[in-house]
Structure 1
């Protein structure tokens, strides 16, 4: 029995005209990959019912650069046979329309309908009307709230233990904090944006935003995050593993810096207003294209901005102006500390993450091919990294830590290569995965199992990898002719699944926090796709 795709033709909203409608014959001849992409999509569409336990393809008005599942307890509906997940999106209209932050709800069937494949048509794969059960649950997406945003939403993230608090990165460098319980679900006044707080520190746009998610945020509940009280955490909560890591690796590598570090001509220093950083507190880290890093303590902010009563009243008689202004009386928050390059040769930082198990370890990647780890307790930590990993000169666009292994992380390069590293050995990666044909936009480790991560690329593919797949039986696999539509390269043993539902670049990928391998992807084709691969791929 095969888990069949629970969907109808109209729920897919499939339209290939967005990627190929504006492509003329000359462009097609100059870029033969356009035909391959369209042919690949047709092949994927015909075989989708064999590949997924459930699949949702929702049509968005505009592309989204970021997607994230919101940490909420899944609510199941036994009568309607589905469970729900909340999802966070941001629009990218290129100043052609109003920009919004979307909070949506995805409904996914609790169990896939198991049917005989012969009950389905060869090319459509849709459930026969005679065999379809009444009240059968189908995947569904609905926008629950929209927050007006000044400019495109480059990255959006929510407070880990409070789904109502959202931070976003803007194109001018400012970071905005929203509490969407204080906003109408669908604002009618589109002239002014009313964030609850503005985090000032960056002057140019950035593409890195992360929380230190390795601790429980008991001191940051919804009732007290708006206050100015400095809720302290007990520093005795540092684990022995944390201290062991610091002593064995960070200190050791720092002593052997002549062999481990890549010499840099530019000098980096902390700002004069540096304050001692307590990694046990709630911290938000961000980076930008000028090579600056900012750390924020959200609890040090003033009370959140109350939305004026006039908010939500539509102002008529004015022409549409997509240059949204921020409410002038919005409270601002300065960074706890800022590290910046003093040299004119500024290296763009592309991604930033806290280590999932060690409070004080912060990692960044840059255009020079470096992945650097720093100890945020050091005042001048940006001068030289505690650990540095550099395998090739191509820029590193993204990286991700394994949530269950303190030593493993992976990174994605601009030429499509994915490298797997061990923190204890920085001379070369443990594994190189060369399957994507274009730049990697995001890599993310799974939240429920070690060794499994996802990647998405400009080649239109989202891949799931399992680094434990190294069996000899997999060598018997032979590349079929239709595999050229995915990649002309040799298939690595660690490749678990390929999602080919997007037409064009895939910008971001996210894993659900539930006990399922539910994945969400967004791309240039204006689509949000939430999918769960067939279980047979996981246990094959």
Structure 2
């Protein structure tokens, strides 16, 4: 369910955000399944405006929204997960009910799916023996895709390679539950495992993790780095809570009371869902905004800034990650989207659900 980073904006007095997303359908038996491009419109507030129903920042508030289906693509069975390629947002990979991974270029498909229901992906990726949900594109190597399966194995593909009959075999295979490339650090990846841990690894040395997070109570099924803050990481398990971590706080001192809430690097726990968190994604255009799904409910929320930026603290740094002195990637000022001094506007971005 990742947000796409494309953002266009136009001044408006209404101040609303329009999110284009691809929606995963879970159709009834004998009914067609689709990957759908959906446009969602929601209110956009500036720092001085009222928030929803008078709620404080960082709290929940209701909002009127509009949803419009823009495109339907036939899909073979239920979609377990979908992710777009960061270098080309028309390219979307999906996890299927089978062991294969599909890759679609939605610009090559009609707006209305053919009535015959035939699924016609642009590429089929092979290497898994069972289905799964882990999926992540590299931000540094265009076309490199990682996929995890329920037997704990990860496959790596280079989708730039020449396929044989629109199919590619994995170029590498190793064992974890889910995985995420760090978009601001070429060498750092995060993994989640059935042993309830989240691990940060240096791809130049897989033998020893940089750090292990151990606060989850069930197996970890999803991890994702923050697109603007290199040390911020989110994870979810087979439960109702989503955890936000800050590697720059590892080793910080704590009082006995603070320690009862978790280690210093555990920044925040989102407990707003009443069923298992099946997927989540950071918004690359709006700082600290996240979308998460539990059951059939999509929540779009943001932490209060007092949580991630204490009065006496600096913003998250890079000291705990490998290769910090020569890290490529955009800074906050280079990323698209309205800044704090800009007036409310109508913003268009993408979300892959």
Asked whether the two chains share a fold, i.e. TM above 0.5, the reply is: yes
- Please name the residue that 1:160 is paired with: 86
* TM-score when normalising by structure 1: 0.48
Kindly state the Cα deviation for residue 199 of structure 1 after the two structures are TM-superposed. Answer: 2.0
CA distance in 2, matches of 1:119, 1:198: 48
Structure 2 residue 157 is matched with structure 1 residue 295: yes
Distance 2:230 2:82 in 1: 25
2:302 to 532, 535, 538: 532
What CA deviation, in whole Å up to 9, does each residue of 1:136-159 have, x standing for no partner?
x85665443332211011232223
1:333 to 150, 154, 166: 166
5 Å-filtered alignment, 1:8-23, equals none
Cα drift, residue 532 of structure 1: 1.9
Larger proportion of strand:
2
1:449 Cα deviation (Å)? Answer: 1.0
Q: Which residue of 2 aligns with 1:101?
A: 35
Change (3 A) 1:116 1:459: closer
How many angstroms apart in 1 are the aligned matches of 2:184 and 2:125?
34
Alignment of structure 1 residues 107-506 onto 2, 5 Å:
107-108=41-42, 109-112=44-47, 114=49, 142-187=68-113, 189=115, 191-195=116-120, 197-199=122-124, 201-202=126-127, 204-207=129-132, 208-215=134-141, 282-284=143-145, 286=147, 293=155, 295-298=157-160, 300=162, 332-335=165-168, 337-338=169-170, 365-366=174-175, 396-422=176-202, 428-470=208-250, 474-475=254-255, 477-478=257-258, 490-506=261-277
| Higher relative contact order structure (alpha carbons within 8 Å, sequence separation ≥ 6) | 2
Could you list the runs of 5+ residues in structure 1 that have no partner in the other structure? 1-66, 128-136, 218-281, 303-331, 340-361, 367-395, 480-488
1:70–1:437 Cα change, 3 Å: same
Deviation digits for residues 315-370 of structure 1 (CA, Å, limit 9, x no counterpart): xxxxxxxxxxxxxxxxx4132x545xxxxxxxxxxxxxxxxxxxxxx7x652xxxx
Report the secondary structure of 1:537's partner residue: helix
Preserved CA contact (<8 Å) 2:34 2:75: yes
CA distance in 2 between counterparts of 1:431 and 1:287 reads 21
Which of these two proteins has the greater Rg computed from alpha carbons? 1
SS at structure 1 position matched to 2:221? strand
Checking the alignment, whether the CA contact within 8 Å between 2:135 and 2:179 is kept in structure 1 is no
TM-aligned CA deviation for residue 402 of structure 1 = 3.0
Paired residues of 2:179 and 2:192 also in contact (CA < 8 A): yes
Q: Normalising by the residue count of structure 2, what TM-score does the alignment of the two structures yield?
A: 0.70
In 2, Cα distance between the equivalents of 1:419 and 1:170? 26
- 1:167-200 Cα distance to aligned partner (Å, 9 max, x none): 32322334434343454545472x4224253426
In the alignment, structure 2 segments of 5+ residues that lack a partner are: 311-353
Q: Give the match's secondary structure for 2:71.
A: strand
